[in-house]
């Protein structure tokens, strides 16, 4: 199988690298609050973890 050089393939490559090599989490669109432009699930998780 060859390398996917389409935009979706490039996007997948970047996401994979950020998640597996740099400790990022891949978000879900259902967690994103468009009105406030924030990922509420990850923000609340950060607050809970940071407050301990």
1, pLDDT greater than 70: no
Q: What is the pLDDT of residues 3-20, one digit of tens each?
A: 777 888 899 999 999 999
Between 34 and 51, the higher pLDDT residue:
34
Amino acid 6: pLDDT: 84
What percent of the chain stands above pLDDT 90? 67
**Concatenated DSSP letters of 7-50:** HHHHHHHHHHHHHHHH------GGGEETTTTEEHHHHHHHHHHH
* Whole-Å CA distances, 44 to 5, 19, 40: 36, 20, 6
- pLDDT averaged over every residue in the chain: 89
């Amino acid at each position: 199988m060859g390398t996917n050089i389409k935009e979706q393939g490039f996007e997948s490559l970047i996401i994979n690298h950020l998640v597996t090599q740099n400790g990022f989490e891949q978000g879900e669109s259902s967690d994103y609050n468009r009105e406030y432009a924030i990922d509420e699930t990850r923000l609340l998780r950060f607050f809970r973890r940071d407050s301990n």
